[in-house]
Structures are given as C-alpha cells and as structure tokens.
C-alpha cells in the first residue's frame, strides 16, 4: 500500500500539534509506522486519504457497533443540526435519552449526561466521595478510566502502550488517594480495605478489561467484589465505556448478573459523537448539584447533536433481532480466529467476550495486567503492519481490543480471517 499523502499530512501536523496527534496511540509509534489519515467510513469499512480501503476492527475504539455512517444516525444528526448545534439549555431529547439508557441499564435509576467517558468516570468518583464522605478509591492495575489525574496510576490503554510515560504533572497527593489492586484477585482488594478501614469511597473497574487487551473476569471475583463493597459501605462503579451494549444489551452487569451502584458509559451512546453518561441508585445521584452538594456541570452536556445520534442508535439496538445477528457474527468470527490461534500454543493466546477480543502475543494465559505485559510487542508490531498491508485495520497497540460490528459482512470477516492465517504463518 502507498501512504504518501498520510505521511505528508503527519509531517505537517507535527509542526502544529504536539507529537502530530490529538491522542497518543494514534501516533502509531509502538507499531513502527506513522499515522494513517482516514477520509471517510461506511458500514464496516474505512478509507484513507491515499485511497486505501480497510475492514475496520477499531470502530472508533468501540462506538460504531452498527458500523460507520449508519443511515438512521446520519438522518437524525442532519435533522438536529438544522435546528441549531447547541443551546447550553435543557432540550426535550435529553429526557428521551435518559429513558432509553435506563431501559437498557435498570440499575441506573437516574442518569446525568456528560461529554466523554473520562468526564463520566471522574464525575462518578467525585460523587462517590461526596456521598460516602471518604477520600480513597481503589482501581485495578491495567484498567483505564480516562486521563483524569487520579486514574493515571498503573493504567492501561495508551499509558501502557507508551510505557515510558511517567505521568508528570500528576501530583503525589492525588496519586496517594488512588489505591491499586490486581484484577481477578479479591485478596488484593481485601488487603486494601484492611489497611484503610472506613476510608475507601469507591471501587472502580472495567468489569471486562478492554484497555489492556480483553481480559475476562472470574465471575466469582465480581460477586465477591460486590459483596465486599456492600459490607464496607463502599460504592461499586462499573466503567462500561467499552463493555456497555457490547457484551449484551445491558452490558457486563446484565451479562454477569452483578449490579453496581454507579455505571459509566461513553461514546457508544452517541454513535461516536462526543458524549458520556453516568448514573445509578437514586439516593446517590440525588447528592449531585442542584439537589445536593456535589458539583458537576458542563455547557455541552446534553448536546442536541449527540443526543439525536444516540437516541437513533439506541432505537436501532432495541429492534428485535439486532443483538442476535450481532452475536452470531461475533461467534462466527471468534470461532475461526480461535482455530487459527490454536495452531500457535507456544506464542499466542486469544481472549474473547461477545464482540470484543484480543490476540495476545504471549505463551501464558492472560488473566490480569501482569500477564498482558508478558506479550511480545515487537512481534505484534510486525503483525499489525502485515495486516494493514492486507487491508485489515487493527489497533496500533497490543493493549487494546478489536470490535466486530453489525455492519461487518461474512465476506469482511472471512477476509480478515484469511489475512490472519497468512500473516501468522509468516511470523512463526
């Protein structure tokens, strides 16, 4: 493939934008390339500025569960933008959006709209601290909850991809209020509760890790975590920015049957537009301003364009047969990938959960962040570059998930599987 136009654009971007990108993982540094500039997307495909076409398995990091430029969402946004791009005021559709979210997530008695997953998680933690009148939080090694200061402690996603990042600018006092436990290890959590009795406001986690690659929970671990938080009077927060609507209609909490106190959702509820939400038990949510003393605000919160796209997408997801078709495609793909990966037991592991999956370049099972760190990232980089040449667009990092969308055809999935088989055979 030729990338001349993308290379020229990146050279120009480096003159005006730090590192040439607006989010670090887009730099493609960890895979030994310069960024590919995307011109447009349609259904399960994206097209770059050099005219190259790819089957897209990033889906804008998850939200395009129905594919790019879905007609219902495009029409909804067109109608909304003609009325105005934003008002900084109440609009009727924010009520509709809250109602639709609650229908998918019954644990969310009340919903507050924000502009991103990062805003959702940082607001949920502030709310938990205000509600419990405690200061400390527990997160899990490798879980990523956005770039708010308190979450950049042993985080996944780009923080892990660029492992040299030391989080300069995050003060020691903030770091000291974030305690880190090991995913799938309930004893590591109990130890922290014993060390800091009556001081832990919240436990926050991705119920399925998606930002260290896909790492599945032990169901007993999730239940023990729920029981422990209840016993300790601590708020359990599920960050479902990645898992929401993908594992099931009601996210990981429905899939595993574990009910959190607060839930955070991200870009998927806006069909890829900038949006997020958090919500949960009414007695907790009532502590938010203007009812209570925990302040949270945003001029763009409840933006009508994001609401229009989100409501249209949720309507599509609610249609009969949508999830059955999506799950069938995901199983079709994962069964074929599993068969190929099984040829390389000394080199690869494959973790899959619904439409999310990751091929880990390691010989050990991946159940936590330390296991993921054993991966051969140099070999992953070679794999990535070869798959790009085959027209398969994957995350430019070992420590991310790939996503099957409802717009992927059987032909798309077969094309990716054929490329995978060919590429892995050339690497081992």
Shared domain for 159 and 98, answered yes or no, is yes
Q: Give the end of a domain, one of 274, 301, 318.
A: 318
Mean pLDDT of the chain: 95
**Structure confidence by residue, pLDDT tens digits, 36-46:** 999 999 999 99
267 classed as catalytic: yes
Shared domain for 10 and 97, answered yes or no, is no
Shared domain for 354 and 208, answered yes or no, is no
Q: Give the pLDDT confidence score for residue 427 in this predicted structure.
A: 97
**Structure confidence by residue, pLDDT tens digits, 378-398:** 999 999 999 999 999 999 999
Shared domain for 245 and 271, answered yes or no, is yes
Shared domain for 29 and 167, answered yes or no, is no
Q: Give the pLDDT confidence score for residue 172 in this predicted structure.
A: 87
Shared domain for 107 and 178, answered yes or no, is yes
Shared domain for 182 and 312, answered yes or no, is yes
Instruction: Count CB atoms within 10 A of the CB of residue 347.
Output: 16
Out of 29, 100, 139, 267, the active site residue is: 267
Shared domain for 290 and 378, answered yes or no, is no
d(CA 108, CA 398): 33
Positions of E strands within 8-109:
38-42, 45-48, 53-56
CA atoms within 13 A on the CB side of 55: 23
144 classed as catalytic: yes
Element (H, E) at 285: helix 282-285
d(CA 182, CA 225): 12
**Structure confidence by residue, pLDDT tens digits, 321-359:** 999 999 999 999 999 999 999 999 999 999 999 999 999
CA atoms 216, 165, 58, 31: torsion sign: negative
d(CA 4, CA 421): 28
Positions of E strands within 161-207:
178-181, 200-205
Q: Give the end of a domain, one of 270, 301, 318.
A: 318
**Structure confidence by residue, pLDDT tens digits, 136-194:** 999 999 999 998 888 887 654 555 555 545 567 888 888 899 999 999 999 999 999 99
Whether 6 and 37 have beta carbons less than 8 Å apart is answered as yes
> Does residue 200 carry a pLDDT above 70?
yes
Shared domain for 232 and 378, answered yes or no, is no
Shared domain for 217 and 328, answered yes or no, is no
Q: Give the pLDDT confidence score for residue 159 in this predicted structure.
A: 53
CA atoms within 13 A on the CB side of 71: 0
d(CA 195, CA 183): 18
Q: Give the pLDDT confidence score for residue 270 in this predicted structure.
A: 94
Mean pLDDT computed over 222-250: 97
Q: Give the pLDDT confidence score for residue 166 in this predicted structure.
A: 55
Out of 144, 255, 256, 380, the active site residue is: 144
- Domain of residue 333: give its range: 4-69+321-427
- Polymer length in residues for the chain: 428
Out of 48, 56, 141, 239, the active site residue is: 239
d(CA 245, CA 140): 22
% residues pLDDT > 90 (the chain): 93
Shared domain for 19 and 98, answered yes or no, is no
Shared domain for 372 and 309, answered yes or no, is no
């Amino acid at each position: 493939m030729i990338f001349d136009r993308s290379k020229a654009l990146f050279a120009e971007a480096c003159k005006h934008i730090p590192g040439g990108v607006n989010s670090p993982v887009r730099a493609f540094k960890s895979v030994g390339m310069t960024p590919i500039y995307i011109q447009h997307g349609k259904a399960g495909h994206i097209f770059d500025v050099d005219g190259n076409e790819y089957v897209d398995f990033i889906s804008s990091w998850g939200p395009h569960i129905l594919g790019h430029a879905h007609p219902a969402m495009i029409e909804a946004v067109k109608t909304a933008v003609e009325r105005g791009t934003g008002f900084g005021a109440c609009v009727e559709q924010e009520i509709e959006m809250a109602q639709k979210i609650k229908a998918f997530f019954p644990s969310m008695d009340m919903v507050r709209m924000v502009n991103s997953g990062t805003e959702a998680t940082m607001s949920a933690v502030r709310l938990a601290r205000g509600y419990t009148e405690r200061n400390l939080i527990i997160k899990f090694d490798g879980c990523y909850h956005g770039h708010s200061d308190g979450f950049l402690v042993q985080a996944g996603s780009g923080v892990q991809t660029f492992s040299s990042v030391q989080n300069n600018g995050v003060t020691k006092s903030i770091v000291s209020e974030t305690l880190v436990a090991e995913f799938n290890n309930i004893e590591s959590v109990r130890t922290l509760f014993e060390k800091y009795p009556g001081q832990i406001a919240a436990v926050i986690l991705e119920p399925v890790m998606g930002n260290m690659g896909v790492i599945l929970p032990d169901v007993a671990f999730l239940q023990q975590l729920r029981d422990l938080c209840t016993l300790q009077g601590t708020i359990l927060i599920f960050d479902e920015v990645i898992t929401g609507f993908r594992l099931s209609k009601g996210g990981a909490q429905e899939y595993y049957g574990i009910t959190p106190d607060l839930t955070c959702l991200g870009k998927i509820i806006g069909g890829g537009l900038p949006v997020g939400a958090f919500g949960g038990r009414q007695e907790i949510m009532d502590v938010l301003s203007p009812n209570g003393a925990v302040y949270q605000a945003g001029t763009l919160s409840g933006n009508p364009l994001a609401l229009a796209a989100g409501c249209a997408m949720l309507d599509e997801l609610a249609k009969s047969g949508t999830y059955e078709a999506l799950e069938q495609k995901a199983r079709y793909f994962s069964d074929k990938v599993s068969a190929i990966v099984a040829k390389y037991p000394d080199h690869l592991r494959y973790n899959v959960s619904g439409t999310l999956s990751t091929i880990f370049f390691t010989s050990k099972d991946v159940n936590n962040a330390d296991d993921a760190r054993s991966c051969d990232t140099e070999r992953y980089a070679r794999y990535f570059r070869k798959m790009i040449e085959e027209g398969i667009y994957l995350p430019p990092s070992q420590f991310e998930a790939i996503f099957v969308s409802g717009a992927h055809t059987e032909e798309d999935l077969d094309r990716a599987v054929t490329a995978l088989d060919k590429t892995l055979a050339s690497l081992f």
